[in-house]
Chain A
Amino acid sequence: MEKILDKKRIDDWIAALTDWEVLAPALQDGIWTYKPVSGAARLDHPNTRQSPKELTFPQREIFFSFEQIKGEPPKLTQILPKETRHVVFGVRSCDGKGVPRMDKVFTDHVEDTYYTTRRKNVAYVGLACNKPPSSTCFCLSVGGSPVSTDGLDVQMTDLGDRYFVKAITETGKALMKAAGSLLAEAAAADQKQVKQVHADAVAYPQRKINDPDGAPAKLKASFNSPLWDEMARACIGCGICTFLCPTCHCFDINDEVQSKAPLKGQRVRTWDNCQFPDFTMHSSGHNPRENTGARLRQRVNHKFQYFHENFGMHQCTGCGRCVSECPVGIDIVAVVNKVTENVG
């Protein structure tokens, strides 16, 4: 299903999606964030500061509540996420590519009910990049493209005064059907223009990982390289790179005790971050990843080696957030290039 939407009518389409809660990028406090749409939706954003992963993998997920009254057996109550249907507009291709990667993690081996409950209720309406929105983009290096449809339900392409709208999945078709007559049939000229726009987008120069295919083996061979410590020398050990990443998924589980008598509380899952000094800290005080070099290696190898070994694809989608937002200039592209170049 390929249609044309007048740019001015995007709000009417959003208004027609009555069964869904619609989110779109909004500029607030100086950053672009996915927000529930109120009034006119703007899709002139570069990319959002945070990826849309929060919708399926929220920073705080309550698993169950617990309660123990003296003399009674403990009471556990599972708390599943609310089944609100969300549709996200303006998802860039890199973030779209993050979706199947998160799916792998949370469904491939063991199905994570909390994730799947949220996931089945989210649809992604992508917006192809006519040119890379940031100077730190590198999707082409990691098997992506500025116009990739992976993970998306609908893909929109900006054609100046109108959008070319293409359904990718059945959910996408349903979303487009809801628009009714707002969407006109795409003419041959539109088709031609889209092809051209997409070709231009792919041809636009990007930063490059020199040998992405050789990376898994080369990284494996470089595990003990002194380069890691050297490159992580400036790392401050914050969580920006992982918290903004569309595919970082490490989490921590904690019991949050609300009251002691009776014992009451919740078990919650929160995001964890491999760059924190206490990431793998043992209770003995021993830490197998005790310096920033070992922790940087963990993140880079996870993206480019371990994930590749497990699922046959790079986990990194090339959005460039960790590069542009790192306060001290740690650059995953430069890191991978440097390490891989130093292997024979």
Chain B
Amino acid sequence: MSEQQNYEPRVVAFLCKWCSSAGSDLAGVSRIQYPPNATPITVPCTGAVSPMYILSAFNKGADGVLVSGCHIGDCHYIEGNFLARRKMQLIMQLLEFIGVEPNRFRMSWVSAAEGAKFAQVITDFVDDLKPLGPQEKLKKADRI
């Protein structure tokens, strides 16, 4: 039981450099408290996030994967987030289809000004991941 309580999910967060990544910085400089579970990976645009990144993160042991980018209309490359919205919808559906818990994958729009929202997104995600326990379904087993 205590192990369950101490379990800290590992989140891989793909953050757009123009918005969510800056948003996470703002959360930091604003000294907003949020769980330290997310490993940020800055990407030039959510449109550049291949579904393979998500599969690969789960394969390498991520408990949850977050993709966060600019609000619709705010994309630095005009339409990257529109494309991401489609692709992420598809991979999300596919993961759920084979029986991966829907709460393991999340997408959010967080602008550079939304430090508080970023902290909230991470907090909610970690809260939702904790009851699920470690992600073993897609993780490469240490078969020795």
Contact = CB atoms under 8 A, between A and B. Distances in A.
Interface of A: 62, 65, 79, 258, 266
B144 interface: yes
A240 B144 CA distance: 28
B142 interface: yes
B31 interface: no
A62 B143 contact: yes
A266 B140 CA distance: 13
Contacts of B142: 258
A258 B144 CA distance: 11
Contacts of A266: 144
Interface of B: 140, 142-144
Contacts of A258: 140, 142
A250 B16 CA distance: 45
A78 to B, nearest CB: 12
Contacts of B144: 62, 65, 79, 266
A79 B140 CA distance: 19
A65 B142 CA distance: 11
Contacts of A62: 143-144
Nearest to B142: A258
A241 B17 CA distance: 48
A79 B142 CA distance: 14
A266 B144 CA distance: 8
A222 B140 CA distance: 46
7 contacts: A62-B143, A62-B144, A65-B144, A79-B144, A258-B140, A258-B142, A266-B144
A68 to B, nearest CB: 16
Contacts of A65: 144
Nearest to B143: A62
A237 B142 CA distance: 31
Contacts of B140: 258
A269 to B, nearest CB: 14
A281 to B, nearest CB: 22
A62 B144 CA distance: 8
A88 to B, nearest CB: 23
A221 B143 CA distance: 47
A258 to B, nearest CB: 6
A59 to B, nearest CB: 13
A266 B142 CA distance: 10
A258 B143 CA distance: 10
Nearest to B140: A258
Contacts of A79: 144
A260 to B, nearest CB: 11
A65 B144 CA distance: 8
A94 B143 CA distance: 33
B32 to A, nearest CB: 31
Contacts of B143: 62
B99 to A, nearest CB: 18
Nearest to A77: B144
B1 to A, nearest CB: 29
A239 to B, nearest CB: 22
A192 B140 CA distance: 57
Identify the 7 closest CB pairs spanning chains A and B, nearest first: A65-B144, A258-B142, A79-B144, A266-B144, A62-B144, A62-B143, A258-B140
A281 B140 CA distance: 27
A79 B143 CA distance: 11
A258 B140 CA distance: 9
A115 B144 CA distance: 18
A36 B143 CA distance: 21
B61 to A, nearest CB: 10
A213 B14 CA distance: 63
Nearest to A258: B142
A74 B61 CA distance: 25
A209 to B, nearest CB: 41
A104 B144 CA distance: 28
A62 B141 CA distance: 13
Nearest to A65: B144
A79 B144 CA distance: 8
A54 to B, nearest CB: 16
B3 to A, nearest CB: 22
Nearest to A64: B144
B46 to A, nearest CB: 27
Nearest to A62: B144
Nearest to A256: B140
A307 B142 CA distance: 37
